[in-house]
Amino acid sequence: MPFVAKEPRQGRSGRTRLEVSRSASSRQQKTSVANPERSRLYSTFIPAYDAVWPLFVRRRLRRSIQELGICPGSLVLEVGIGTGLSMPAYPQSAQVIGIDLSSEMLCQAKQKIRREGWQHISVQEMNAESLKFADQAFDFVTAFHVVSVVSDPRSMMLEIARVLKPGGKALVINHFRSEIPWVAKVVDRADPLTRHLGWRTNINHEDVFADLPFELRVKSSPLSLFTILQATKKYI
């Protein structure tokens, strides 16, 4: 699947600065719905999650992280790291901080870190929608299967853009709303159900990335449920 370059969609005013995005409340409301992040999938049912989910996503995560080309000494943030499925893919020459809202998911990640003796990875409880990191602190930010779980995906992307250095890269992998109208319509019907299970199905990546200072490269395939977005932060 090759990457396709895409300009983030502009707001009606044609303004592209991050500050403008902060006032895009109508779009935020559109993507803010009930709370999939409260699903018991991310607390009570973690053993089931950890047994099944890796079978579908592990290889894609590894390949996509490798393609990022993380250089030695880089500082990497992963938002919504969950049980730490992606952790083995990060080079040990980088420093990785993972955050998640669920202490139960993080408990699994911490066990893996201890078991493997990884000195280059640490995790902490934090909300991806209000990160406690300084502006432009990270060289890379990754977010896997989180956009459709957080209560406000726009806030999360604004935070990712804020903490990323200019020229830094964000890697987002997620299930987004299909661009094929009839598939999108059918899947939209499942949204109320999947929200209870722990994720949404009706998010457009254009809405989530609109007005953000990113150069976007998008990889998708009609045969895959997941879209891979590599977003390089522009120098503005």
CA distance 198 to 34: 10
**Closest residue to ligand SAM, based on beta-carbon distance:** 82
Helix 103-116 / helix 46-68 crossing angle, nearest 10 deg: 60
Task: Strands of the chain (E only): list them.
Answer: 4-6, 75-79, 95-100, 121-125, 138-144, 164-174, 214-219, 227-233
Of the candidate residues 21, 100, 141, 171, the single one contacting ligand SAM (CB under 6 A): 100
CA distance 106 to 101: 8
Question: Is residue 176 at the binding interface for ligand SAM, with CB under 6 A as the rule?
Answer: no
| Tokens found for residue 45 | 């049912």
Of the candidate residues 81, 87, 157, 160, the single one contacting ligand SAM (CB under 6 A): 81
Rounded least distance, CB 133 to ligand SAM, Å: 13
Question: Is residue 174 at the binding interface for ligand SAM, with CB under 6 A as the rule?
Answer: no
CA distance 22 to 13: 14
CA distance 65 to 141: 11
Rounded least distance, CB 94 to ligand SAM, Å: 17
Rounded least distance, CB 102 to ligand SAM, Å: 3
Query: Are the beta carbons of 127 and 101 closer than 8 angstroms?
Result: yes
- Among the residue ranges 10-18, 26-34, 78-86, 208-216, the one whose residues contact ligand SAM (CB under 6 A): 78-86
Of the candidate residues 145, 175, 195, 205, the single one contacting ligand SAM (CB under 6 A): 145
- Among the residue ranges 18-26, 62-70, 74-82, 176-184, the one whose residues contact ligand SAM (CB under 6 A): 74-82
Rounded least distance, CB 148 to ligand SAM, Å: 8
Question: Is residue 150 at the binding interface for ligand SAM, with CB under 6 A as the rule?
Answer: yes
Residue 2 contacts by C-beta under 8 Å, 6 or more apart in sequence? 219
Question: Is residue 90 at the binding interface for ligand SAM, with CB under 6 A as the rule?
Answer: no
Of the candidate residues 87, 97, 109, 128, the single one contacting ligand SAM (CB under 6 A): 128
Within 13 Å of residue 11, how many CA atoms lie on the same side as its CB? 18
- Among the residue ranges 8-16, 26-34, 73-81, 188-196, the one whose residues contact ligand SAM (CB under 6 A): 73-81
| Burial grade of 166 (CB within 10 A; 0-12, 13-18, 19 or more) | exposed
Of the candidate residues 80, 153, 168, 213, the single one contacting ligand SAM (CB under 6 A): 80
Provide the binding-site residues for ligand SAM, judged by CB under 6 A.
37, 42, 53, 57, 79-82, 85, 99-102, 105, 127-129, 144-146, 149-150
